[in-house]
Chain A
Amino acid sequence: MKRLSAFVSRLCSWFKSQFTSRHLLTALIEGGRTLIAILIAYLVAFAVIGFVSDDPEMAIRWFVFGPLSSPTEFGEVLKNATPLLFAGIAACLIIKGGNFNMFTEGAFYAGGLIAALAAIYFDLSGILAIIIPLACGTLAAMLIGYIPAKLKAKYEVNEFVSSIMFNFIVMWIGVWLISNVVIDVTSGDNATAPIPDASRLRILFENTNVTTGLLIALGVAVVAYLYMFRTRFGFRLRMTGDNKAFARSVGIDVGRAGVSSQILGIGVAGLGGGLAILANYHRFNWKTLPGFGFDGFMVAIIAKNRPLLVPFAALFIGYLRSGADLMAFNTDVAQEVVQIIQGLILILVASEAFFSSAWFRGVIAKRMFRRKQLAPVGGVDDHA
């Protein structure tokens, strides 16, 4: 009982600290900035659609309102958001550790392939039929991802370039496997044998493709938050990412922190790949990289690298995707317009100068807190 009350009071003080006026103001500013970025990106996209489409109004209607038109369509949004959620969490972990390891892309591929193979060839039953393949996929991705991460920590091999090379290597080996070694000729395609029913994830809502994978994804987001912000490992990770020299000088093993952040991120991506395959595919048949790695970085940036905001960012991108799919299906505009939006949002949100909090604060301060703001301005004492 005592522990409970202590917990409640801690919770209260946490909420209080989160919602004091200053925090709230910053949050509002940052949120407003993201909204403006999204708005600008949308306007550009509409202009592009208007330029290429014969019936822009119809296209835009499908694009914006299509995903919300029925529960089935909204299910597609959730389905699209699930792998993005994993990718976003993965990118959060990696970016917060101060690295740009792009192997999340290859991890999705490797995780998906290994999970599919484990599901097919181990032929398990019950809950094990899901857990074991996922664990295999995750571990395989982590093992491969360890190489660029360790090389970066030890010899300062540029992890960005090496991880991209690893992506291509993993992809080609995977394509070789599914078109020669584990190919199921009866499928009429370069694909594995069908994934057994026991390993397929259960559908959550009727008439949709939303599976239990979504719940696992949300769980991963919460766990990642707790890890990053409530454990000493997470603290070391963030410290290393923020200021490596400082972290080293206070005795943090920066090499280990960097490697572990990348490995964990890649593991999350591998899990996401495995879940994506078990949830939505009958066979593993990816012949190109799925692209979730790069998308993950975008999701993480939109979510300001906060694991608990990642689900919302992923939901938004998932909504964009399903809208674009519907638009491409029903009108003459290709769904790639979504990549234009994504690229623009990424740049504007990540920009330090574009409607920065400092800029916003200046405007708001002038309007609302003029009296407060006037006193210290220009005061030399500030620096004393």
Chain B
Amino acid sequence: MTMREFLQLFATPEFYAMILQLATPLVFAALAALVSNKAGVLNIGIEGAMVSAALAAALFSTLTGSAMLGVLAGVFAGILMGLFFAFCTVRLRTNHILVGIATNILAAGLSVFVVYAITGNKSDYPGIAMTPWNVPLLKDIPLIGEVFFTEVNPLVYLAIVAVFAVRFLFRRTVLGVRILAVGKNEAAAASVGISTDRVKTIALLIAGGLAGFGGAYLSLGYMSSFNTGMVAGRGFIGIAAEAIGAGNPVATALFAVLFGAVNAFSLAAQTFPSFTIPYELLNTLPYLTTTAGLVIYSVIRYRKLHPRLAKKEIKQ
């Protein structure tokens, strides 16, 4: 691939539209991770919540004939998974990570099981895609209009709204502050009369709902069917984006978009005939960048926390 073709890739509005598409589920996943992390829970079950939401959305969209109801069902499924996670961690007091692993095993198994029970095949279930929006007037703006206002799934806008909604939640609402308090110091929060169990549960339900939007977007927005394995670690990438974003919703979303961009690049590069890198290796790109981002962030944090140690190392 010549340099010019490479640059051409970045000049097309389709590429940026693709970034938007691929970043949306990651943004939802990252926000879900953020909300649960603020409540002091490392929520690995996001991946599983997204899987079950994607399936529920596809199922109910064909059942009711309406993509909107499908999305609602997906969100509901996400919230249910959040409730399950909350019940296991808060009521049964099980280790968060183990519950997360169990949730993911359950969701992966259950989704294949349900698809097989209904259709007799194990790989996919058709859904009704949401109709994308064309925003009048704004869509006529060159480039920006093409990327942001032409044929854009409503959930993309919702993702942007959700970022600021989460920001608002933690800055301006009582519930948000309570979640922060519980996450920072559970005993202290309990001592001033906050019901920590309830706050944690609510945070996990919100996280489940956000993950539900992400899953529903995957099966009804990004594609128009549920495929097993379609979530492909996006929940985990969201968790990584949250870790790098250091608890700031906007920064978290930006890192999610960055990972979405890498994903878009790896997909777009596959369609270039002159591009010689095999697609299998391109597929590793999103995971490689996520790891790299996580490592860079951790190193910077480490240097900040241990300034003296870091200096000594540099001298050596």
Contact of A353 among B42, B91, B287, B290 (CB under 8 A): B91
The residues of B that contact A165 with a CB separation of less than 8 Å are 233, 236-237, 240, 287-288, 290-291, 294
With A and B bound together, what is the CA distance between A338 and B108 in angstroms?
11
Q: Report A-chain residues with C-beta under 8 Å of the C-beta of B294.
A: 157-158, 161-162, 165
**Could you name 22 residue pairs across A and B whose Cβ atoms are closer than 8 Å?**
A155-B295, A156-B298, A160-B97, A161-B240, A161-B290, A162-B240, A165-B237, A168-B232, A168-B233, A169-B291, A172-B280, A172-B284, A179-B280, A180-B278, A298-B105, A338-B109, A339-B106, A340-B106, A340-B113, A346-B98, A351-B88, A353-B93
Other A-B pairs beyond A339-B106, A340-B113, 19, CB < 8 Å: A52-B117, A151-B298, A155-B298, A155-B299, A158-B298, A160-B44, A161-B290, A165-B236, A175-B280, A297-B101, A298-B102, A301-B98, A344-B102, A346-B102, A347-B92, A347-B99, A350-B94, A350-B99, A350-B102
**Interfacial residues of chain A within 337-376, with CB under 8 A of chain B in the complex:** 337-340, 342-344, 346-348, 350-354
CA distance A342 to B122 in the complex (A): 19
Q: Is the C-beta of A226 less than 8 angstroms from some C-beta in chain B?
A: no
A164:B94 contact, CB within 8 angstroms: no
Spell out B's residues near A (CB within 8 Å).
42, 44, 88, 91-95, 97-99, 101-106, 108-110, 112-113, 116-117, 122, 229, 232-233, 236-237, 239-240, 243, 278, 280-281, 283-284, 287-288, 290-291, 294-295, 298-299, 301-302
Q: Give chain B residues whose Cβ lies under 8 Å from the Cβ of A166.
A: 287, 291
Point out the residue from A151, A169, A288 that lies within 8 Å of B284, measured CB to CB: A169
Residues of B with C-beta under 8 A to A339: 105-106, 108-110, 113
The answer to whether A352 and B93 have CB atoms under 8 Å apart is yes
Q: Does B92 contact A336, Cβ atoms closer than 8 Å?
A: no
A301 proximity list for chain B (CB < 8 A): 98
Q: Which of B93, B104, B240, B287 has the most CB of A within 10 A?
A: B287
Distance of A342 Cα from B97 Cα, bound (Å): 15
Question: A85: shortest Cβ distance to chain B, in Å?
Answer: 18
Question: How would you classify the secondary structure of chain A's contact residues: helix, strand, loop or mixed?
Answer: helix
Report if A246 contacts B (CB, 8 A).
Answer: no
Q: Complex formed: what's the CA distance from A348 to B239 in Å? A: 25
Q: Identify which of A172, A180, A338, A347 gathers the most chain B CB atoms within 10 Å of its CB.
A: A347
Question: Are B109 and A343 in contact, with the CB atoms below 8 A?
Answer: yes
B105 touching A343 by the CB < 8 A rule?
A: yes
Across the interface, do B278 and A176 meet the contact criterion of CB distance under 8 Å?
yes
CB-defined contacts of A100 to chain B, threshold 8 Å: 97
What total of chain A residues lie within 8 Å of the partner, measured CB to CB? 46
CA distance A351 to B99 in the complex (A): 9
**B191, chain A: closest CB distance, angstroms:** 21
C-beta contact mask, A282-324 vs B, less than 8 Å → 1, else 0?
0000001000001001100100000000000000000000000
Enumerate the 6 nearest inter-chain pairs by beta-carbon distance, A residue then B residue, closest first.
A339-B109, A343-B106, A176-B280, A351-B92, A334-B116, A346-B102
Flag if B295 contacts A157 (CB, 8 Å). yes
Q: Is A28 an interface residue (CB 8 A)?
A: no
Asked if A11 lies at the interface with its beta carbon under 8 angstroms from chain B, I say no
A161 to chain B, nearest CB (A): 5
Task: Provide the A127-159 mask, 1 if CB < 8 A to any CB of B, else 0.
Answer: 000000000000000000000000100111110
Beyond A173-B281, A339-B108, A340-B109, whether A347 also contacts B98 by CB under 8 A is yes
Distance in angstroms between the alpha carbons of A180 and B280 in the assembled complex = 10
Q: Which of B101, B287, B298 contacts A294 (CB 8 A)?
A: B101
**A157, B298: Cα distance in complex, Å:** 6
Nearest CB of chain A from residue B116's CB, rounded to whole Å? 4
- The CA-CA distance from A353 to B102 in the complex, in Å, is 17
Query: Roughly how many angstroms separate A288 CA and B108 CA in the complex, as a whole number?
Result: 14
B243 touches A334 (CB 8 A): no
